[in-house]
């Protein structure tokens, strides 16, 4: 039995290798298609697939990258690991775009991705803990760690002279981690957190949370949540009950859909979003609309597009679909030197790489990776003016 088992393993190994020689190259897209962030993930996956569509037939002398979707469930580490296992050992994907939630991402990276030497680029796992996992250089993320964002938010408030805020965060590692790092930075700058209370996503009723938040006596409410989840509910309820009308938003809360849902009451709201200028983001919207996506500005959509694009470009730069070779090139294509590449210009980038040139992929979220392989974390300071998010300055 054991002989048979191992013989078949080799066979399986052979077939994956054979697959890679065809015209199709598989890339895993593992996101929580069911579970708590199931409403965000289809758009994230479409964004990633957009990058593949854009480069169809143009990678490595006529290859096409095809996505193999798998469900991370966002919560169930066992199911996510199993799904990733299938992607890597059965489908033979060359790399993985994902996962999404920090918990399952850690599980996949530790249990499957790193041991098998497969590159993972997460678009949305922002937990500071991921900075220090033992990834042997195989884990990257196009979303910056929340440790930085908390500092940036505190700086902005200090500059504005706001010294007392109420904080509400979505009750997961993203929200809690960000709230912690913000609290530390804000207190160091002499600020006071009147109350810090969690909210659960997907609850629809937030009057109790808003009631408690407003009772603490702060005038500003910092919301660290998701734009079409609990965060929106909190803002809506705050405005409806007159509890708060001045908000401070973190990246998960930035989206046109928020303004569409809430309207003019949001004017004056302050926010932060990873990125350094909006050229890439604006370009991404065009590309997304042209590509027929349902939305063109969901949370983490730009990061998803960038995650897929990075791997495709790294593949071209490496000149092969070998997993280890791709890993070696991710940093090269993401960072300077080289020609700046925005969304929609992937074909151009492939041409440059083919002719031996270098690219510096900027993408939709202004990608620059630090030594540990995560987005460097320059943030845009935003303010809502006349029903639009406007960039005030870069931090």
Partner 1 sequence: MIDFLNALTLFANFVLIPGLTYGSQLALGALGITLLYGILRFANFAHGDTMAFGTMVTILATWWLQGTGVSIAPLPTALLALPIGVAATAIFALATDRLVYRHYREVKAPPIRLVMASVGVMFVMNGIVRFIIGPNDQSFMDGERFIVKARAFKNATGLNEGLAIKSSQMLTVVMAMVLVALLFWFLNRTRTGKSMRAFSDNEDLALLSGISPQKVVTVTWILAAGLATIAGVLYGLDKSFKPFTYFQLLLPMFAAAIVGGVGHPVGAILGGFVVAFSEVAVTYAYKKFITYLVPVDYAPEGLMQLLSTDYKFAVSFIILVVVLLVRPTGLLKGKVI
Partner 2 sequence: MNPSMRALIGFGIMAVLLAGVGHYQSWNVMLAIFNLCLISAVMALGVNIQWGYAGLFNVGIMGFAALGGVAAMLTSRAPVSTAWAAGGSNLLIAGAVTLGVIAAAWQLSKWRGRAWVKTVAMLIVVLGGYVLIRQFYDPAVLAIEADNPAKSGFLGGLGLPIIFSWAVGGVFAAIIAWLIGKVALGLRSDYLAIATLGISEILIAVMKNEDWLTRGVKNVTGLQRPVPYELNLQESPRFIEWVEWFYAGSLAGLEGATRSQMLRELTVEGSSLFVKLCYGGLFLAVLLIVLILCVLALASPWGRMVRAIRDNEVSAAAMGKNVTRRHLQIFVLGSAVVGIAGAMLTTLDGQFTPGTYQPLRYTFLIWVMVIVGGSGNNLGSVLGAFIIWFVWIEAEPAGNWLMGIATASMEEGDWLRRHLLDSAQHMRFLIMGVIMLVVMRFSPGGILPERTARS
**Exposure class string for 215-232: b at 16+ Cβ within 10 A, else e:** ebebebbbbbbbbbbbbb
Using CA atoms, how far residue 29 sits from 47, 95, 254, in Å, is 11, 9, 24
Site string for partner 1, 262-301 (x = CB under 8 A): ----------------------------------------
Rounded Cα gap, residues 74 and 377, in angstroms: 24
Phi, psi of 67 (to 5 degrees): -90, 140
Q: Is 192 in the site for partner 1 (CB under 8 A)?
A: no
Which listed range, 179-187, 241-249, 269-277, 375-383, lies at the site for partner 1 (CB under 8 A)?
Answer: 241-249
- Site residues for partner 2, 209-228, by CB under 8 A, read none
Residue/partner pairs of 320-329 with CB below 8 Å, 24 or more apart: 320/60, 321/20, 321/25, 321/60, 321/63, 321/94, 323/94, 323/95, 323/116, 323/117, 323/118, 323/119, 324/117, 326/94, 326/95, 326/119, 327/117, 327/119, 327/137, 327/138
Angle in degrees, CA 62, 46, 65, rounded to 5: 20
Q: Is 256 in the site for partner 1 (CB under 8 A)?
A: no
Q: Is 260 in the site for partner 1 (CB under 8 A)?
A: no
Shortest spacing between CB 134 and partner 2, in angstroms:
8
Q: Is 261 in the site for partner 2 (CB under 8 A)?
A: no
Which listed range, 59-67, 240-248, 350-358, 376-384, lies at the site for partner 1 (CB under 8 A)?
Answer: 240-248
Q: Is 12 in the site for partner 2 (CB under 8 A)?
A: yes
Which listed range, 2-10, 30-38, 68-76, 353-361, lies at the site for partner 1 (CB under 8 A)?
Answer: 30-38
Q: Is 243 in the site for partner 1 (CB under 8 A)?
A: yes
Rounded Cα gap, residues 305 and 318, in angstroms: 20
Q: Which is nearer to partner 2, 239 or 376 (CB)?
A: 376
Q: Is 210 in the site for partner 1 (CB under 8 A)?
A: yes
Q: Which is nearer to partner 1, 262 or 331 (CB)?
A: 262
| 155 contact choice in partner 1, partner 2, none (CB below 5 to 8 Å, kind-dependent) | none
Q: Is 68 in the site for partner 1 (CB under 8 A)?
A: no
Q: Is 214 in the site for partner 1 (CB under 8 A)?
A: yes
Q: Could you tell me the strand order of the sheet in which 95-98 lies?
A: 64-71, 24-31, 95-98, 119-122, 139-141
Rounded Cα gap, residues 348 and 336, in angstroms: 17
| 176 contact choice in partner 1, partner 2, none (CB below 5 to 8 Å, kind-dependent) | partner 2
Q: Is 10 in the site for partner 2 (CB under 8 A)?
A: yes
Rounded Cα gap, residues 365 and 347, in angstroms: 18
- Site residues for partner 2, 73-102, by CB under 8 A, read 73, 75-79, 81-83, 85-86, 88-90, 102
Could you tell me which residues come within 8 angstroms of residue 38 by beta carbon, excluding any fewer than 6 positions away? 32, 74
Applying CB under 8 A, which residues contact partner 1?
A: 34, 36, 38-39, 171, 195, 197-200, 202-205, 207-212, 214-217, 228-229, 233, 240-243, 261
């Amino acid at each position: 039995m054991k002989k048979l088992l191992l013989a078949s393993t080799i066979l399986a190994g052979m077939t994956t290798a054979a697959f890679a020689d065809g015209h199709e190259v598989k890339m895993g897209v593992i996101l929580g298609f069911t579970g708590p962030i199931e409403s965000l993930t289809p758009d994230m996956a479409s964004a990633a697939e957009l990058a593949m569509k854009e480069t169809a037939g143009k990678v490595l002398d006529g290859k096409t990258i095809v996505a193999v979707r798998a469900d991370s469930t966002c919560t169930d580490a066992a199911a996510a690991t199993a799904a990733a296992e299938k992607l890597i050992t059965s489908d033979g994907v060359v790399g993985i775009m994902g996962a999404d939630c920090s918990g399952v991402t850690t599980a996949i990276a530790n249990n499957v991705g790193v041991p098998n030497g497969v590159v993972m680029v997460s678009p949305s796992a922002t937990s500071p803990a991921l900075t220090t996992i033992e990834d042997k250089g195989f884990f990257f993320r196009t979303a910056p760690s929340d440790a930085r964002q908390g500092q940036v938010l505190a700086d902005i408030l200090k500059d504005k002279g706001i010294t007392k805020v109420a904080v509400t965060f979505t009750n997961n590692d993203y929200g809690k981690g960000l709230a912690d790092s913000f609290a530390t930075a804000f207190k160091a700058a002499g600020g006071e957190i009147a109350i810090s209370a969690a909210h659960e996503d997907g609850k629809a009723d937030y009057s109790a949370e808003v009631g408690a938040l407003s009772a603490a006596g702060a005038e500003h409410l910092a919301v660290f949540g998701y734009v079409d989840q609990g965060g929106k509910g909190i803002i809506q309820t705050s405005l409806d009950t007159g509890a708060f009308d001045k908000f401070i938003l973190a990246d998960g809360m930035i989206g046109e859909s928020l303004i569409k849902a809430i309207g003019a009451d949001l004017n004056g709201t302050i926010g932060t979003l990873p990125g350094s200028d909006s050229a890439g983001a604006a370009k991404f919207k065009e590309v997304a609309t042209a590509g027929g996506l349902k939305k063109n500005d969901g949370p983490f959509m730009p990061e998803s597009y960038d995650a897929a694009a990075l791997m495709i470009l790294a593949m071209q730069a490496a000149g092969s679909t070998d997993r280890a070779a791709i890993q070696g090139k991710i940093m090269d294509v993401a960072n300077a030197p080289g020609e700046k590449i925005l969304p929609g210009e992937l074909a151009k980038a492939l041409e440059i790489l083919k002719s031996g040139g270098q690219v510096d992929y900027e993408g939709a979220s202004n990608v620059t990776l630090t030594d540990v392989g995560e987005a460097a974390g320059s943030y845009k300071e935003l303010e809502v003016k006349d029903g639009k998010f406007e960039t005030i300055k870069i931090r």
